Chain A
Amino acid sequence: MRHFTVRLFAAVVFLSLVTCHPSRAMAAGTAVEAKGAAGTAAISGKVTFSGSAPAREKIKMAADPVCLAQHKEAALSEDLVANNGALQNVFVYVKDGLAGKTFPPPTTPVVIDQQGCQYHPHVFGIQVGQPLEILNSDATLHNINVQPKENKRFNIAQPMKGMKTRKSFDKPEMAVPFKCNVHPWMGAYGHVLDHPFFGVTAEDGSFTLKNLPAGTYTVEAWHEKLGAQTQSVTVADGETKQVSFSFKK
């Protein structure tokens, strides 16, 4: 049972790869379930963006025809995606309140796919020690240049379509930037945590942190351009608490 959601997550990623649905990234990292000290509480909610969102920029991919050919219409920048007030790609996680508890990492990898010369997902969470599978679905060279402060750095080439490389992180670290130097517009953020209570907001701004032990937590919502906000939340066993965050420019 405890692997079920993880598998489901992997299946979602896989299916969405096959169907090439643009919102394939939305479930990334949300459904990884606690092993160890898991509980039955949950925190869910919405992240909103107030004010008028700037238009997403069209990415100029002309430097690489392989990238260009994969988009009928120009791909759009992902650093600020707000749909009717809902803010996507916000990383929501338990920042504090789990001291003393340990959560063994899942053995199922988080997959980051390079497709259409963009990273999918654009923002993701991963546990310390959990495998990260880096996949190239494009028939062109990507280099994955990852320069964390706490963890081991790497910069590796994936010139062939279908190439996979496994990596993992040894220490918790927020906002590890992933970059491709061949395609300077490509960027993603990975958040390395020592527990599984994190999620990334979907197109509708929603997130859920499931299987929490009862307790009082500091929950943080992090956005790459808009910064971070925290709230204190107390949840009891079996309870689902609603929490919302609102960002503005």
Chain B
Amino acid sequence: MHPVPFRKVIKMKRLLFGLAVIGLLGAAAPKPTPDPAVGKAAYESNCARCHGPTGAGDGLDAKRMSPMPRKLSEGVFKFRTTGSGTPPTDEDLFRTISTGLAGSRMPDFQRLPEEIRWQLVYYVKSLSTAFNDQKPEPVNLGTDPGPKKATVERGKELYGQLGCAACHGTAGRGDGPSAPTLVDNWGRPIRPADLTHGSAYRGGSSVKDIVARMMTGIDGTPMPSYADALSSPEDAWALATYIRSIQEKPNFQRVIEGVKGPAPLPSGPDDPAWGAAPATTLRLSSNLYREGEIQPTSVAGISVQALYNEKEILFRLAWNDPNESRESPPDAAALALIPDRRLKPKIGSLRSWPATPEAPALDLSLWQAIQAPAYEAVLKDFAQAAGAPEGGAVLESKASYAEGQWILLIKRPLAPAIPGGAALSPSRPTLIGVAVWNGGNGEQGRRRANSNWVDLVLK
């Protein structure tokens, strides 16, 4: 690397570029002319660690990622505005580099000057022969026909007719009948996107972005192009408007607010009493490595509500899980309470708990999708036993699975039913975390999705 000349180049170009912009009086900045040396230097310092020095997708961290960094030399690009199997436009690549790919490890490079991002576009193109063999074939995405023509109702109808549900599931949660068997071009299992999870769309979650995905497909994956199947631009926009409408609006908070509920707490997940309890969304993440490879968990978030009365507290947990599993290993969820908040530094994050055998115990309420009841126990590790362990107490719970979603009601006493447990009281907050296992994805024990610690406050 030659940091000094590299910076000089940027400075000079910035100056020239600035002048050009002034000259054009604010007109769209023209693309700079390719300068391979600048592109190469920028690639080596920003991209090679993941995509590898020659774009072979073999950077240092590559194996730990899912999806893995693209083998750029192969010339297969997912997020395009061009026909199935044709290379992306320069603008498509510019966008990928500028905004990154949410829901994957590909970061955004907004911090690099525009000029450098363009040089990276040219450099990425030089890594593969795809751009010489073929020209991009831009697809006409049409324009928004407005809500009167592109209706959600029509979109929903098309979602059924066009078979999106075969992969994405009827409610869009990625649980379609064909989902478990999908593999990508590189032979790796791939999940259909959970369409309710807009923030994880890699190509953008706006209506226009969705139109682009449907019209062009996602090359390298099972997701096909619907350019021939959608009979009019109105239909494309209507379907995308529907998809946009099912994207959930997460309410990320550092607090779960328990609300005083009716005397007998609700017995079902649809009881109107839940309307009074604010739903907090917790992000879940896996952080476990084994033999240098990440074992990705599949549940990305969970919505938590709580209602309480004098004696008990009832939690309502809802999370998307594309593959229901009631066998070994079963789907499972746990509420973890820190019995004494002063212990938090010793416990560390829930993800790595128990970091050492000496790590303090947690008050766990564990539910599993099996016949045996849920239980509460103070434990030094998650013991997924088929019944309450010694010293534990059985808890009342009710779970249902439909269209790729679990809804779990689980009730525990406010005062600890077991020695060493956490005492819940309106007079002080309690630290709480949630862990979820997708048994259908082989998750059990340490391989789980975890939230951060948040405060449970009883109002």
Question: Could you list which residues of chain A lie within 8 angstroms of chain B, going by C-beta atoms?
Answer: 63-64, 140-141, 143-145, 147, 152-160, 163, 165, 181-184
Pick the contact of A154: B84, B163, B177, B182 (CB < 8 A).
B84
A176 to nearest B CB, angstroms? 13
Chain A: CB-nearest residue to B218 = A155
Contact A155 B229 (CB under 8 A): no
A157, B225: Cα distance in complex, Å: 6
Pick the contact of A156: B86, B167, B182, B227 (CB < 8 A).
B227
Q: What residues on A are CB-neighbors of B178 within 8 Å? A: 63-64, 181-184
Give per-residue flags for B214-230: 1 if the beta carbon is below 8 A from chain A beta carbons, else 0: 00010100111111110
Which of B76, B85, B185 lies at the interface centre, i.e. has the most chain A CB atoms within 10 A of its CB?
A: B85
8 Å CB interface, B62-104 against A = 76, 84-86
Q: What residues on A are CB-neighbors of B185 within 8 Å? A: 147
8 Å CB interface, B181-208 against A = 181-182, 185
A-B contact pairs, 26 of them (CB 8 A): A64-B178, A143-B222, A145-B222, A145-B224, A147-B185, A152-B86, A153-B76, A155-B84, A155-B85, A155-B217, A155-B219, A155-B222, A155-B225, A156-B84, A156-B217, A156-B227, A157-B224, A157-B229, A159-B161, A163-B229, A181-B167, A181-B178, A182-B163, A182-B166, A182-B178, A184-B181
Give per-residue flags for B134-156: 1 if the beta carbon is below 8 A from chain A beta carbons, else 0: 10000000000000000000000
Query: Apart from A152-B134, A156-B224, A182-B166, what are 9 other A-B pairs with CB-CB below 8 Å?
Result: A141-B162, A147-B185, A153-B219, A156-B217, A156-B228, A163-B229, A181-B167, A181-B222, A182-B167
A140, B176: Cα distance in complex, Å: 14
Given contacts A140-B163, A155-B219, A181-B182, contact A163 B228 (CB under 8 A): yes
Q: What residues on A are CB-neighbors of B228 within 8 Å? A: 156-158, 163, 165
A165, B185: Cα distance in complex, Å: 22
A94 to nearest B CB, angstroms? 27
A134, B93: Cα distance in complex, Å: 31
Contact A158 B182 (CB under 8 A): no
Contact B163 A153 (CB under 8 A): no
8 Å CB interface, B108-161 against A = 134, 161
Chain B: CB-nearest residue to A157 = B224
What secondary structure prevails in chain A residues at the interface with B? loop
A165, B227: Cα distance in complex, Å: 11
Q: What residues on A are CB-neighbors of B76 within 8 Å? A: 153
A163, B217: Cα distance in complex, Å: 18
Contact A143 B219 (CB under 8 A): no
8 Å CB interface, B205-250 against A = 217, 219, 222-229
Pick the contact of A152: B85, B162, B166 (CB < 8 A).
B85
Q: What residues on B are CB-neighbors of A183 within 8 Å? A: 178
Chain A: CB-nearest residue to B83 = A154
Q: What residues on B are CB-neighbors of A141 within 8 Å? A: 162-163, 166
Q: What residues on A are CB-neighbors of B222 within 8 Å? A: 143, 145, 155, 181
Chain B: CB-nearest residue to A160 = B229
Q: What residues on A are CB-neighbors of B181 within 8 Å? A: 63, 181, 184
B349 to nearest A CB, angstroms? 38
A182, B176: Cα distance in complex, Å: 10
Chain A: CB-nearest residue to B162 = A159
Chain A: CB-nearest residue to B182 = A181
Pick the contact of B224: A147, A155, A163, A184 (CB < 8 A).
A155
A165, B134: Cα distance in complex, Å: 21
Given contacts A140-B163, A183-B178, A184-B181, contact A157 B85 (CB under 8 A): no
Pick the contact of B229: A63, A147, A159, A184 (CB < 8 A).
A159
A40, B446: Cα distance in complex, Å: 72
B199 to nearest A CB, angstroms? 25
A218, B143: Cα distance in complex, Å: 56
A152, B225: Cα distance in complex, Å: 14
Q: Which 10 A-B pairs have the closest CB atoms?
A: A141-B163, A181-B222, A153-B85, A143-B224, A157-B224, A63-B177, A184-B181, A159-B162, A154-B85, A154-B84
